[in-house]
Amino acid sequence: CKVKEVYTGIAGAHIKSKDSNGMVVVREKEVTEYDVARAIEAANATPISADDQILHTLVQEFIVDGQDGVKEPIGMDAKRREVKVHLVTGAVTAVQNIVKCVHRCGLEVVDLVLQPLASGYAVLTEDEKDVGVCLVDIGGGTTDIAVFTQGAIRHTAVIPIAGDQLTSDIGIALRTSTQDAEEIKIRYGVALQQLADPEEMIVVPGVGDRPDTELSRQTLAGFIQPRVEEIFQKVQEELVRSGYEKLLRAGIVLTGGSAAMPGMTQLGEEIFHNTVKLGVPHYEGNLRDIVRNPRYSTAMGLLLEGVAQKQRGLKVQSPATFKQILARMRAWFGKNF
């Protein structure tokens, strides 16, 4: 079975977000799907830059005749209703370039999904989203934040520092290639220096005809910890600015490729003064040992969103089932790992 359509994640410094409201007077006594659509359309009418386009309109809550906190208004009697949404926008050129790249691979883009939103589908529970949680997705180029409370997304943000910067720091400090720095980061990196073994030595490949060198794993951690602290401090500043810092009863969930580094959760708790855990995709099938890795959180979330859209009857006409998709993943992993 050949893959023809894909769900694609999107992230980057061009991503912006804002809250918006939309209000309509209900035409009939009961609220209908049409009324909901009109209210959301009104919320979408908020001005945005001509260089941006709306990627997501994420409903936070409905207000029916002054009663707030309504999650499902259809069928309720009302004269006036309002919707609160969280709008996520992205640069038009960035979106066009992603779609063009996928098209050149012979595939069609069914939907673009904000990466921390996709990761949240895979690693967060409904209880966590309800009581308040912040997902911190540490990717390669950016660290993406998504805050959930009362079952809805409340805030998103992008920090332009992530795993690639850690690799660059290691390469510069150790005077080695980017490829070797990345391998050293993955195999030996520790985010909290006090947890690293001072007796364990690491061989650093020389560049060109320069000889190899050695350093302790604890010394390596000394190059990594300041950058991770900077990332977490910027996340904390964003949480304070958003006003949700004190509303995260489920704490912070770290995911993404760099999140699995030893010491990440411990250092996070020191900076956030809250509970911090590693988030991995919720999956208990045959691929559990491979899939339950934070580096695959976004990919698994995109799969789940595709299945959810199929079940809602949106966009996808005849995609494979979730089991069929996982079977393809199993075959792909078998060939490539």
Report pTM: 0.86
Greatest Cα pair distance in the chain: 80
- Structure tokens belonging to residue 36: 């909901």
CATH of the domain at 174: 3.30.420.40
Identify whether 112 is part of a domain: no
* Three-class HEC string of 13-45: CCCEEEEEEEEEECCCCECCHHHHHHHHHHHHC
CATH of the domain at 32: 3.30.1490.110
Q: How many domains does the chain have?
A: 2
Domain boundary among 226, 258, 275: 226
Burial of 329 (0-12, 13-18, 19+ CB in 10 A): middle
Residue ranges making up the domain that contains 86: 14-90
Identify whether 275 is part of a domain: no
Question: pLDDT tens, 120-165?
Answer: 999 999 999 999 999 999 999 999 999 999 999 999 999 999 999 9
* Continuous H helices in 124-196: 126-131, 163-174, 178-188
Domain boundary among 56, 90, 124: 90
The residue that leads in pLDDT, 304 or 200, is 200
Question: pLDDT tens, 218-263?
Answer: 999 999 999 999 999 999 999 999 999 999 999 999 999 999 999 9
* Helix and strand element counts for the chain (H, E): 11, 13
Identify whether 153 is part of a domain: no
